[in-house]
Amino acid sequence: MSEEQPERPKAPELSGVDLARQALVAAKEQARARGAAAQQKKQARRGGLRSGARADGRDPLPLGAAINRLITERGWETPAAVGGVMGRWPQLVGPEVAQHCEPQKYDEDARVLTVQCDSTAWATQLRLLAPTLVARLNEDLGHGTVKVIKVLGPGGPARRYGALRAPGSKGPGDTYG
């Protein structure tokens, strides 16, 4: 048995108008390529791209928009928001609490806000208010931004070093082992 292959229809030969269309398309592509190359040479001679009538990425931005763009590109949204909280502390906690308690630092990895109080009574009060304050901060900054508020009481008196100090002594705590 001999297998006969079906005849494939041959592509019709182009003539007249079709040849002219094909030649026109090829000429347009070549002209576009030459024009792009000439434009690149021209821009290189002028010292790079120039701004035109339409807005593009090289146009000047207002300062606020430029800062917001920088914050977004660098991934600084959370630290910037927490910095805003430090500036708005009296509005968030109230003037009386803000007078006695001051935010010190924010640890972004652990999501802990450290607050220093000027007395142990205010430190205790802030520890009791901490869950409410964490909820208020997360409502303002976004869920999970602050997990814990670490409350520090007042610092002890400054160590004084004087002439009556024993050589090698670490102060009053060195005798307790």
pLDDT at res. 176: 47
Is residue 152 domain-resident?
Answer: yes
Domain count of the chain? 1
Predicted TM-score (pTM) of the model is 0.51
Q: Give me the pLDDT at residue 9, please.
A: 57
Q: Which residues does 61 contact at the CB level (< 8 Å), separation at least 6? A: 69
Domain that holds residue 116: 100-156
- Is 132 within a domain? yes
Q: Is residue 146 part of a domain?
A: yes
Predicted local distance difference test score (pLDDT) of residue 150: 92
Classify residue 109: in a domain, yes or no: yes
Whether 66 maps to a domain, the answer reads no
Cα–Cα distance, 24 to 19 (Å, whole number)? 9
pLDDT score at 51: 60
* Residue 128: per-residue pLDDT: 93
In a domain, 82, yes or no: no
DSSP string, the chain: --PPPPPPPPPPPP-THHHHHHHHHHHHHHHHHHHHHHHHHHHHHHTS----SS--TTS---HHHHHHHHHHHHT-HHHHHHHHHHHTHHHHH-HHHHHHEEEEEEETTTTEEEEEESSHHHHHHHHHHHHHHHHHHHHHH-TTS--EEEEE----PPP---TTPPTT---GGGGG-
Is 1 a domain residue? Answer: no
* Residue pLDDT tens, the chain, 177 long: 555 555 655 656 666 777 788 888 888 888 888 887 777 777 667 666 666 677 777 778 888 888 888 888 888 777 777 777 778 888 888 889 889 999 888 888 888 889 999 888 899 999 999 999 889 888 887 788 888 999 988 876 666 666 666 667 666 554 444
Q: What is the pLDDT of residue 166?
A: 67
Q: What is the pLDDT of residue 143?
A: 81
The pLDDT score that the predictor gives to residue 11 is 56
